[in-house]
Amino acid sequence: MTIKVLITGSSGQVGRALVERLRQQTSDYIVLAPQRAELDLLNTTAIQDFVLHNRPAIIINPAAYTAVDLAEDDTETAYRVNAEAPQALAEAAAKLGIPLIHFSTDYVFDGEKRDQQGQLVPYHESEACAPIGVYGASKRAGELAVMQSGCRHIILRTSWVYSDFGKNFMLTMLRLAGEREQLSIVNDQWGAPTSALWIAEACIDIMQQALRATYGEASSTVRLNTSADSTELTESAQWWRTHGGVLHLTPRNWTNWQQFAAAIMQQAHSLQLINKLPEVKGIPAAAYPTRAKRPSNSMLNTARLRDLFNIEAPLWEDGLQACLRRIYDEKTETNTDTGKGNGMNVKLKDELKDELNDKPTSSVQIPYQNPAFRLLGDERGSLIAVEGNKDVPFEIARVYYIFGTKDGVERGFHAHKALKQVAVAVRGSCIMKLDDGQEQIDILMNDPAKSVYIAPMVWHEMREFSEDCVLLVFADQGYDESDYIRNYDAFMDAVRLAKNSATALSSIKNSIANTASKE
């Protein structure tokens, strides 16, 4: 038997890192990582129904509404995702007698803590919370809802999260390094930049300790169908009294945004991830006004993490180095390819060959080359020309583009009965999820010469838009609302009825397999 783990927010930085790491331990865990169509965090009834139906052994909830500025004007959504959804998860966990690990933030504090000499000092878990904005207030409401639910819980507060994917400060700095000679970065806000990769490692360590405390040393064979009666152990209750509650999960040292930006530039330049070093100039937060006020002090004390869980928080510089090294390694692997065929790296081709021989997983990220646009140009620059029935597999009847997508917003969530489309990210990046009712593929769109074919009867969703993303779409028909299927259950019903529907995902995999076999 293996352990069933429910992870929410799997498209976010922490959620994605958790899923990736746990799925590397396939013999130990069954990972439930539902997408929005499967688990709507705005629907508390659906949340509880999902948990009670799937009966995981533990829930990890990194999902959150993290658009700090937008939250000031979208209070309802922020509270529904950050407070009501955690409450629903916690109540379901209490009914099943299973533990919940919930993620929170440094924004629950006002950021004004200082010692008698006026120096900023870190917050301890037990100190009074006083959020100064809607985002922090909604996250604090979520903490309280979890605490009051009666479920066994651990609340992990973290700060300044970054990773090698998604939207975050580190990736923004790497992009700006190629665009500007000088950067003005705030230097009077202090905290600990925290890598999602390390968060995932530490969280899994905490999870394993919690599972052993809840189900005993044989937690590697814990029953999938748990109940409250099976976990009422004296030793377990004692462990949860001492180890449960709030825990700070950040590096053990601190910096400000300007110093963090400078370190990103220095380390990235040494790894040849950027070609030049822009000047990083420090400015006060007052010179960079935002809709929501940020805490001046986001420093969190991590002694409890060490004392209770024997986890030594790293230096933030080490986390940054590991994250940039991962980007470097991926870039190096890609650059070692021969450049023939579809241009994917050799390691990824081998992985795909193995994947094609296995049963489909819930989500597989693969490159896309279907169709590839003709890249033209000269010494002045590049040019791409798109012609119907030549560069795209249909006559073009309509062209539209998606841009200016707000932080944290996901788009799409529909299928078409007959419409054919080809999408390309002409600027920036996003993730395109395709689902033909049998298998799902996550596609990173970040190349204006590579596109994605969206066949009829393929459910598609788009997420993790970069700030500058412009998504261009070619279609073979004009707008027709009657061609849309906007409900996922209705889509699945239609798939079952239309057994002979075209499956774009199979075509993509076959194309990749054929190309890989020729290399």
Peptide linkage before 360 cis (omega within 30 of 0): no
Contacts of 466 (CB under 8 A, 6+ apart): 167, 175, 428, 429, 430
Q: Which position among 29, 65, 135, 215 bears the catalytic label? A: 135
Distance, in Å, from the CA atom of 50 to the CA atom of 504, rounded to the nearest integer, reads 29
Contact by Cβ (8 Å): 202, 18: no
Distance, in Å, from the CA atom of 89 to the CA atom of 153, rounded to the nearest integer, reads 11
Beta strand 375-378 pairing with 411-416: unpaired
Torsion of CA 198, 201, 204, 210, to 10 degrees: -70
DSSP percent split of the chain into helix, strand, coil, nearest 5? 35, 20, 40
Identify residue 243 by its one-letter amino acid code. Answer: H
Please state, as a whole number, how many other Cβ atoms lie within 10 Å of the Cβ of residue 212.
Answer: 16
Sequential DSSP letters for 121-136? -PBPTTSPP---SHHH
Contacts 24+ apart (CB under 8 A), 445-451: 445/368, 445/471, 448/373, 448/384, 448/424, 449/372, 449/373, 449/375, 449/384, 450/367, 450/368, 450/369, 450/372, 450/373, 450/424, 451/368, 451/370, 451/371, 451/372, 451/373, 451/392, 451/422, 451/423, 451/424
Distance, in Å, from the CA atom of 28 to the CA atom of 8, rounded to the nearest integer, reads 19
Contact by Cβ (8 Å): 64, 157: no
Q: How many residues does the chain have?
A: 519
DSSP state letter for 366 = -
Neighbour order of strands in the sheet with 421-427: 398-403, 470-475, 421-427, 452-454
Sequential DSSP letters for 173-190? HHHHHTT-SEEEEE-S-E
Residue linked to tokens 């949860």: 240
Contacts of 96 (CB under 8 A, 6+ apart): 51, 52, 55, 226, 227, 228
Burial class of residue 157, CB neighbours in 10 A (0-12, 13-18, 19+)? buried
Identify residue 88 by its one-letter amino acid code. Answer: A
Q: What are phi and psi of 60, to 5 degrees?
A: -120, 125
Residue linked to tokens 């002409």: 426
3-state SS class at 307 = helix
Distance, in Å, from the CA atom of 323 to the CA atom of 163, rounded to the nearest integer, reads 7
Sequential DSSP letters for 181-216? SEEEEE-S-EE--EEHHHHHHHHHHHHHHHHHHHH-
135 is annotated as an active-site residue: yes
Q: Which residues are catalytic?
A: 135
